[in-house]
Amino acid sequence: MDPKADWSCHLCTFINSNPLGLACEVCTAERIVESRTPAGSEPVPNLKRKISCEDDASASKRISATASSSTAPSASTSLAVKSTTTLAYPNGALKLTAIAPFPSCPKSVSFMRIMEPRTLKKVFLASFQFDLPWIASHVPPHIPICIALHSSTPTPTRTQNNIQLVFPAVGARNSIFHIKMGVLYRQDSVRVFIGSANLVDYDWNALENIVFVQDFPKKMGTATAGVVEDDGNPSDTGFKNDVVGLLKEMGAATWVWEGLDAFDFRACKARLVVSKPGKYSGADIKRYGLGRLSAVAKEIAPNLSTLPNSDVSMMYTTSSLGSLSAKFLLDFEASACGRLNETIPAASLEPKIRVVYPTKDTVQKSYMGINGGGTITWNSSLWAACQHKSLLFDCISKRKGALSHCKILLAKEINNEGSNEGIYYCGSHNMTLSAWGKLGVIGKSKEPRLEIANWEVGVVFSANEKLDGEGVVIPFETENMRKHGEGSLSAHGVWQG
């Protein structure tokens, strides 16, 4: 150990400035001190890190693959060579995390399957909670990596070698960076995934989370092999432009969003819904939170905006709750129907949305027991103040014993012959004002203003969309749904009382 030299972490390659440090400042991996080989003896062979890839069809099968060193593709690579790469998710797919105690099923996916590290060239990841050593075990060494993380205080971007850590600015004291997403570059495609799972082992292997994932092929005529012929039609889509805009706002490295121009996004049916800390008025309301949800809902299912609440079936599963005031619930219903600020509900109108949230009984009966509910939260004082407990329904997973951390909205019209429009959302937004925003007015002008605390992201598409040949995923029981009881049956008292 040289007491004067910087040293590189063997796991994440970060250059540590403390020469006497025994653990990496970024990923906390233990420092490996190389011993000197005496003259005339055989050198110790280099150990290559192995990455274990899990086959989702059988949780017991594991394949070890040595991750070789690679760099970002060069712009000078040869053009117009047809690729033989088969995309795993060419039309998009909704998947549930592959929970360890449960048999794998076609709808489940492991984080290793999402990452597929052997073919990765560049990686962007974002998460509220994170475990850097765990992340590093799913990424080949030395490729460009950019990770967006939560920091409660202003933190400058940190860059060392191939790794860049960015910390998007948060606002008020309780504001958080809550986005969960990834952009994964390969030789001939890019994969985008967005969901409810943090970048920690617990969220991917213990809790039930949902993830939207889609692969986009490289266009012909761009650097390296292409898989899509250029037919002259624009391949930029609303989704691609939304993703680029979000990456820029988060402060991601230029290569993260600039490289997306080389890929074809025309097969994507999803639209992005983003929340960003701030106060918005005028046309800006439609860019974020409730305003963005309303604009996308009207675009995808215009019929909903013409219907009264009684003709729309709406339910939202969430892992965290806040103030469920009548105004917030009615504003949310209006947004999900595409008519925020267009139709002001009468004061006597009662919200009808079903809020799906686990009871204490469900948490206790989950395979992890009461200790598994650490991220299922509702402040006891807000629960006590809630005047709409009749809207609360128990969240019981179809995988009996699993505990849900999903955030899912389903809104569909009913009692309308010949039409069945609706929207489906999944992502990081909980059913809270912090996530979706508080709608109010500005002073005497009474101009609408939307105030948002958190960074969030999710995807919205038609409730009738067939992704990967299947309909939307609703992982909890919807038949004979059980209403919350009072007092001890409410999940709030377990963790936040």
Sheet of 189-195, strands arranged across: 108-109, 93-97, 210-217, 189-195, 181-185, 122-127, 145-149, 163-166, 158-160
Residue that has been written with the tokens 């990496």 in this structure = 24
Residue that has been written with the tokens 């930029």 in this structure = 236
Residue that has been written with the tokens 């027991």 in this structure = 369
Instruction: Given the residues 10, 138, 150, 178, select the one marked as catalytic.
Output: 178
What CA–CA distance (Å, rounded) separates 464 from 304?
14
Is 178 one of the annotated active-site residues of the chain?
Answer: yes
CA-atom Rg of the chain in angstroms? 24
Q: Write a three-state SS string for the chain.
A: CCCCCCEECCCCCCEECCCCCCECCCCCCECCCCCCCCCCCCCCCCCCCEEEEECCCCCCCEEEEECCCCCCCCCCCCECCECCCCCCCCCCEEEEECCCCCCCCCCEECHHHHHCHHHCCEEEEEECCECHHHHHCCCCCCCCEEEEECCCCCCCCEEECCEEEECCCCCCCCCCECCCEEEEECCCEEEEEEECCCECHHHHHCCECEEEEEEEEEECCCECCECECCCCCCCCCHHHHHHHHHHHHHCCCHHHHHHHHHECCCCCCCEEEEECCEEEEHHHHHHCHHHHHHHHHHHHCHHHHHCCHHHEEEEEECCEECCCCHHHHHHHHHHHCCCCCCCCCCCCCCCCCEEECCCHHHHHHCCCHHHHHCCCEECHHHHHHCCCHHHEECCCECCCCCCECCCEEEEEECCCCCCCCEEEEEECCCECHHHHCEEEEEHHHCEEEEEECCEEEEEEEECCCCECCECCCCCECCCCCCECCCHHHCCHHHHCC
Q: Which two tokens stand for residue 289?
A: 């939170």
Q: Which residues pair with 314 in a beta bridge?
A: 411
Instruction: Given the residues 138, 150, 388, 405, select the one marked as catalytic.
Output: 405
407 is in an annotated binding site: yes
Is 138 one of the annotated active-site residues of the chain?
Answer: no
Q: Tell me the backbone φ, ψ of residue 434, rounded to 5 degrees.
A: -60, -40
180 is in an annotated binding site: yes
Neighbour-count burial for 81-119, b at 16+ CB within 10 Å, e otherwise = eebebebbbeebbbbbbbbeebebeebbbbbbbbbbbeb
Catalytically active residues are: 178, 405
Annotated binding site: 180, 407
Annotated binding site for substrate: 180, 407
